[in-house]
Structure 1
Amino acid sequence: MTRAALVVILILFSISSVNFVDSLVQDNWGKILGTFNAIKQVKIPELLNQLCNQSQGSNANLRRDACYGCFYRASILPQGFSMLAAMSTCADDYLNNTNYGHCQAYLRNATSMPNTRSPMLIYCSFLECIRQVNKNSLLRECVDEAARMLPGFHGSYANYTSVQVAQLFVNATACVLAKTRCSFTNPVTGEIQDADIVNRLHLPSLNAILVNTDYDINIVQVPFRHGSVDACTKYRNVHQAIWPSVVC
């Protein structure tokens, strides 16, 4: 290896530091900033765009644009409950009777009682609710795709053999990892993934699944990608799940 190549590699690792990719999201584990202002550094336009794309339907272009515009304008308002109240109004207008309805209800309830919880916690909880809906959709999509790959699939898993059940699990897991690693747009966050340094330099990347104690799945990625500071990270559970019949 030439000295120049070695220097490039060292630079890449030094700017990447140690970042963590949260629940199927390509967000990063950077410096944690404790002030509410820090949420302005979270890269959320893609998530809001994904929210509107998924909730407004494939034939509702104008409504999707209006939805995104509403949430984006709310998200750049001055910090505090005024911003959250504006986002709640958008949620009431665009998320009612959608898969994100419980996220809408949470935001409405949380903003109707100001000063009972920190604005950042409410904000991060709302974003995490959106991600969770997207994760559930991705998991369902991957399980269905994996099941259709099995011979004799009839929409029921009850009569599968042990080998088929194992293959279903493996294929669904591969689908989740591949779509969160390789898709042009991250299926959970909506983030465009071809612009980071890992992809620009064609570095190999590896994703692995972590299940936390809430039995929610997380994706850990190596090499770690360098991106925006995510001040919501400190609210996320990254402790490994246990199992009743197993003692570590």
Structure 2
Amino acid sequence: MRDNTEQKQAEAALIKEKEEVEKRTHQLQIYINELEAFAYSVSHDLRTPLRSIDGFSQMLFEHYNDKLDDEGKSYLQRVRSASQRMAELIDDLINLSRVTRSEMHYETVDLSALARTITMELQQSQPERDVEFTIAPGLVAKGDAHLLRVALKNLLDNAWKFSRKQASAGIKFGYAETNGQPAYFVRDNGVGFDMAYANKLFGAFQRLHAPDEFEGSGIGLATVQRIIHRHGGKIWAESAVGQGATFYFTL
């Protein structure tokens, strides 16, 4: 009788604890949604004044160019560059928010076909570059086609960008087993990075290279991670300085 009573008390305690965890999880999700909605709203509202700053700066440069000395022209160009840079950051922040907020539609997605389309676009953007693409055939996954394209494009864009200093660059998209776990991967033979800073890779606005060396806002990998997490997967990277990088992800 005593054992039965203790068992019921333990079960009741577990149920209560589970309900408390679910309640806190629900509240946390509400806070996250509100924060993302706020970030989206603020970012969207900042676009208009930035366009005005850039637009009027351009008008000053075009119509009052002869009245400005070299120093004045330099200052004005800095204003334009800064406003354009901020506009790019805002666009990236809005896109990051959309990735989290958008409704998902699951279907069978041909990742190999997506990769071929994206790499073709990259080659057309800089036809003078010598880059060898290797795309494994027949790679498919269940997921949201739009979001998976965004994720794959960000990964391939990064591989393209960080391998541009190579006389003969190589970029691969495939499927392999790593540490006993099957995963998709994007690999390049570019500049790579120090694994000591790997924990910063997927943070928003985190950069491992100087802006004057490689352009970008530092939002791309944060976007990729959110997409992969929304699909119930995970993403990680392996690299060494000067030896390229490989990004693995599961879905």
Asked which structure has the greater RCO (Cα within 8 Å, sep 6+), the reply is: 1
Q: From the CA coordinates, give the structure whose radius of gyration is larger.
A: 2
Higher strand fraction: Structure 1 or Structure 2? 2
What interval of TM-score do these two structures reach, taking the shorter chain for normalisation? under 0.3
Using the size of structure 1 for normalisation, the TM-score is: 0.27
More helix by share: 2
Q: TM-score of the superposition, structure 2-length normalised?
A: 0.26
